[in-house]
Structure 1
Amino acid sequence: MPDFESLLYRFERSISVLGRSKSTFENYARHIASISLHYGKIPAELDPEQIHEYLFMLQKRSKTPSQTYFKHTVYGLRFLLKTEGLAYSFLQLPEIKQDKKLPVVLSKEEVWAMLQHCTLLKHKILIGLLYGCGLRCMEVRSLRLADLDFDRQQVKVVQGKGKKDRYVPLSSHLIRGLKTYISVEKPQDYLFGGQIQGRAGGDFDSRYSQKGVQWAVKEAAKRAGIRKSVCVHTLRHTFATHLLEDGLDIISLKDLLGHENIETTMLYLHIAQNGRLKPFSPLDTLFAQCKPGSK
């Protein structure tokens, strides 16, 4: 359609210059393309009535309480207006209220059960890193052998969310498992490899897939008999909560999680106590409390 290609170029350029990821562009671009195809013209040529009618259609179609597709469409349109130098009021876009929900958190016994019910060493190490280091799904998938420092007992998280590097403690228990895993699986670059798949732009991805990580976590929770709704990020929430309960202070936790603002980290104060200790991995206290014969 007329002007869409040039619009998309400006959109991609704006997102790139502002330091947002390629996946952010691809996500928003899909929503911009959908609304453009629906009306046969670019969103900047639409009026507020058409935008509201389209958003209403998305709400009626959505089957999830969070209406993720609806929200991402609004976010994409906001970014597009910014790209075109137009105010949000140009299309009278609605405000998106943030859900105020406390995260699902597992007990130490439940984490221990998940580790014990992993059928593959790869999955046990994967879950150990997600919980023991508080990693996001993309961060654990992107771990390279070069990021592991066994001597200093640290993991370097390279270009995590917000394109920031950070170091997190690596439990001595996890180091033993990692050495065994590396010896057996012999990874060459990424710690967790997978089938090589093509991506947008002609790139190839040799990392363990996002769906693979999600399946491993859900399968371990299912085998462990956990009734809570468990996803990959649940282990990160549990990491943060357990560290606060074990005495770590909120400022140190903020740095370990890689949060930009302390307000984001303060969420965990609603479900845990905090103290003042040197950063450590919760896997250390997990083994001390839960390993057979330790009590």
Structure 2
Amino acid sequence: MTPLRKKMIDDMVVRGLSENTIQSYTNAVTGLARHYKRSPDRIEPREVQDYLLFLLRDRELAWGSCNCHRHGLRFFYRITMGLPDPHFYIPGAKQPKRLPELLNREELVRLFSLTVNRKHRAVLMTAYAAGLRCSEITRLQASDIDSSRMLIRVEQGKGNKDRYVPLSPRLLEELRDYWRRCRPEGWLFPSPIAGRPLTRHGVSRIYRTASKRAGIEKAGGIHLLRHAYATDLLQAGVALHDIQRRMGHTSPRTTMRYLHLAQGGDRSTPSPLDLLELPELPNPRRG
């Protein structure tokens, strides 16, 4: 690790940035250096702006991805290098307002029903029933499932914030069945490597495999289950501020994009998973 890279990482750690953000910002600077085959402290501001245009036009990265690179590079030059704004500026990309594709109830039923691996089914149901981000699923421990208060503790979510979300009765049944059969210790969804949790890539792979089996062709990964959670709660009549709290959104504006769906229904719904009619999984054969 070069001294410059170490200094940037130290700058991010001392400011309390999450592991995902640290990795994202570091990758942005590494990509810039590889593009020009020079150390980033020897790259001019104009070249950085040209690199961002290259990512957008030539590599055709999404606006959101370009903005991630932009934030990482701005952090490096403003904080780590100590360059003030007048001497360095990267124009921000305007994010187009696009609504995510949504999974309907029939697709959700197929997704869960056709997933017979107990661990994989529990992972997918947890993502939908609690509206968790992929990284939040990987960090769950068995002790985070509070059946006495019917809550799930989400530790150090986005922005390094803890929160509680309602525990679906149906999810509790699913998790208990999974626990009886698999007996996970420590991490709720452990990796095949002893002592480690599933990685985000592992969780994403579970969704990709299951969605392909279920014939779901809508664009997007496991985050679609989080979108479905929010929109289905909204349709069930749960208040917007409650959905914001459950999802861990800092700003209500982030949650308001789901307002394209009409409200109405039962406001006491703990989770949209309880509204699905799922067939029982067959008991595995013995011997």
- Scaled by the length of structure 2, the TM-score of the pair is 0.87
Q: Counterparts of 1:65 and 1:45 in 2: how far apart (Å)?
A: 27
- Is residue 80 of structure 2 the alignment partner of residue 80 of structure 1? no
Distance 1:73 1:89 in 2: 20
Q: 1:98 aligned to 2:88?
A: no
Distance 2:212 2:239 in 1: 33
Q: Which has the higher strand share?
A: 1
C-alpha distance in 1, partners of 2:114/2:131?
20
State the 1:38 CA deviation: 4.8
Aligned match of 1:240:
230
Letter in 2 for 1:81: Y
Conserved in 2, the CA contact under 8 Å of 1:139 and 1:157? yes
Q: Which moved more, 1:171-180 or 1:247-256?
A: 171-180
**1:137 aligned to 2:134?**
yes
Instruction: In structure 1, list runs of 5 or more residues that go unmatched.
Output: 198-204
Deviation at 1:155, TM superposition (A): 0.8
Q: Once the 2 structures are TM-superposed, how far is the Cα of residue 231 of structure 1 from its aligned partner?
A: 1.3
Does the Cα contact within 8 Å between 1:132 and 1:282 map onto a contact in 2?
yes
| Alpha-carbon distance, 1:12 to partner | 1.7
- Whole-angstrom CA distance in 2 between matches of 1:59 and 1:244: 34
> Is 1:50 aligned to 2:40, yes or no?
no
Cα-to-partner distance string for 1:87-142 (whole Å, 9 max, x where unaligned): 34423312121131101111122211111110311111111111110011011111
Which residue number in structure 2 is paired with residue 264 of structure 1?
254
2:5 corresponding residue in structure 1: 8
From the superposition, tell whether residues 163 and 15 of structure 1 become closer, same or farther in structure 2 (CA, over 3 Å).
Answer: same
Residues in 2 aligned to 1:276 and 1:120: alpha-carbon distance in whole angstroms: 32
In the TM superposition, residue 207 of structure 1 has moved relative to its aligned partner by: 1.0
Distance 2:34 2:214 in 1: 46
Q: What is the correspondence of 1:173-188 to structure 2 with a 5 Å cutoff?
A: 173-188=170-185
Asked if structure 2 preserves the Cα contact closer than 8 Å seen for 1:141 and 1:207, the reply is yes
Instruction: Give me the whole-angstrom Cα distance separating, in 2, the residues matched to 1:41 and 1:225.
Output: 46
In structure 2, distance between residues paired with 1:230 and 1:76: 24
TM-score norm. by structure 1 comes to 0.85
How far apart, CA to CA, are the structure 2 residues paired with 1:34 and 1:89?
Answer: 24
| Deviation at residue 188 of structure 1 after TM alignment | 0.6
Tell me the residue number matched to 1:215. Answer: 205
Evaluate the alpha carbon distance shift between residue 229 and residue 26 of structure 1 in structure 2; reply closer, same or farther with a 3 A threshold: closer
- Aligned 1:11-22 pairs, distance under 5 A: 11-22=8-19
Q: Describe the SS at the equivalent of 2:103.
A: coil
- Classify 1:59/1:258 alpha carbon distance in 2 versus 1 (closer, same or farther; 3 Å): closer
Secondary structure at the counterpart of residue 102 of structure 2: coil
Matches of 2:279 and 2:82 in 1, distance apart? 59
Secondary structure at 2:193 match in 1? strand
Please state how far the C-alpha of 1:58 moved relative to its aligned partner. 3.5
Q: Summarize deviations over 1:8-66 as a string: whole Å, max 9, x none.
A: 33322221122102332233223323433554654344323332343344445415444
- Most deviating of 11-20 and 175-184: 11-20
Separation of aligned partners in 2, 1:40 and 1:215:
33
The aligned residue for residue 113 of structure 1 is 110
* Contact 1:248-1:278 within 8 A present in 2 as well: yes
Shift of 1:210: 1.9
Whole-angstrom CA distance in 1 between matches of 2:264 and 2:99: 17
Per mean C-alpha deviation after superposition, the further-off stretch among 165-174 and 40-49 is 40-49
Separation in structure 2 between the aligned mates of residue 114 and residue 169 of structure 1, nearest angstrom: 22
Query: Aligned-residue CA RMSD in angstroms?
Result: 2.5
* Alignment partners' CA distance in 1, 2:258 and 2:265: 13
Once the two structures are TM-superposed, the CA of residue 67 in structure 1 deviates from its matched residue by: 7.5
**Paired residue secondary structure (1:27):** helix
The Cα shift of 1:166 comes to 0.9
Identity of aligned residues (%): 34
